[in-house]
């Protein structure tokens, strides 16, 4: 019984002594393109593709590597690895074809945001109630998925779309900083829910 409880408690755990660095590193990457867009008058599709490409490529590499090193659950590691690969591919395409125009920018960011947002939202939902980081994954995933919806629903406009990308990066950066520091200051990296305590009959 004790072994079963221990296995249940360890299911899906992450390296709490290290994982807090992942959201902070993601925030550090997001703040650069956020600042470039915010303080640049040129909100053209070229700027959008270049800033998005740099962000998606760098964050994809970081997410794939650090998540693989700090997550214990095999499925979570694979999901974030796929998420990182999608970011690397999208970032590489954006940088390689930075003159692709507004349509290409809207399509590429929408696909990237939809896929990675869903993957992160799903990763959080499957460990909800067991890991402290579940809420952070779900919020970050929801923010990214919302970006995809906005890009799909709003009329095509370079200034608005690039501005939305900048706003998304600012909000994501702020949230990731809070999430990382909250994990660092947490007293334990154990799941939120505690394994059921054995009753008297089990202990006899």
Split into its structural domains, the chain has a count of 1
pLDDT on residue 175 = 96
Instruction: Indicate whether 137 belongs to any domain.
Output: yes
> What's the rounded Cα separation, in Å, for the pair 49 and 41?
15
d(CA 138, CA 104): 28
Q: Which domain does 46 fall in, by range?
A: 17-187
Q: What is the pLDDT along the chain (204 residues), one digit of tens a residue?
A: 334 333 333 434 555 567 888 999 999 999 999 999 999 888 999 999 999 999 999 999 999 998 888 888 788 889 999 999 999 999 999 999 999 999 999 999 999 999 999 999 999 999 888 888 899 999 999 999 999 999 999 899 999 999 999 999 999 999 999 999 988 887 444 443 333 333 434 444
Instruction: Supply the pLDDT for residue 12.
Output: 42
pLDDT at 173: 96
Task: Judge whether 195 lies within some domain.
Answer: no
Flag whether 196 is in a domain.
no
What the block records as the tokens of 115 is 């896929």
Residue 22 domain-assigned (yes or no): yes
Residue 2 within any structural domain of the chain = no
Q: Model's pTM, two decimal places?
A: 0.83
Q: Does residue 162 lie in a domain region?
A: yes
């Amino acid at each position: 019984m004790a072994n079963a409880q221990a296995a249940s408690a360890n299911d899906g755990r992450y390296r709490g002594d290290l994982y807090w660095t992942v959201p902070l590193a993601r925030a550090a990457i997001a703040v650069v393109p956020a600042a470039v867009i915010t303080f640049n008058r040129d909100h053209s599709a070229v700027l959008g593709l270049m800033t998005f490409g740099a962000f998606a490529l760098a964050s994809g590499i970081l997410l794939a590597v650090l998540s693989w090193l700090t997550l214990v659950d095999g499925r979570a590691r694979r999901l974030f690895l796929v998420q990182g690969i999608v970011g690397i591919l999208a970032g590489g395409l954006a940088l390689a074809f930075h003159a692709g125009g507004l349509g290409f920018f809207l399509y590429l960011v929408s696909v990237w945001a939809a896929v990675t947002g869903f993957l992160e939202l799903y990763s959080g939902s499957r460990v909800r109630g067991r890991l402290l980081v579940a809420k952070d994954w779900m919020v970050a995933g929801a923010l990214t998925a919302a970006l995809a919806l906005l890009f799909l629903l709003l009329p095509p406009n370079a200034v608005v779309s690039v501005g939305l990308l900048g706003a998304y990066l600012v909000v994501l950066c702020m949230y990731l900083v809070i999430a990382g520091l909250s994990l660092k200051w947490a007293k334990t990296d154990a799941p939120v829910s505690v394994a059921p305590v054995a009753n008297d009959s089990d202990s006899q």
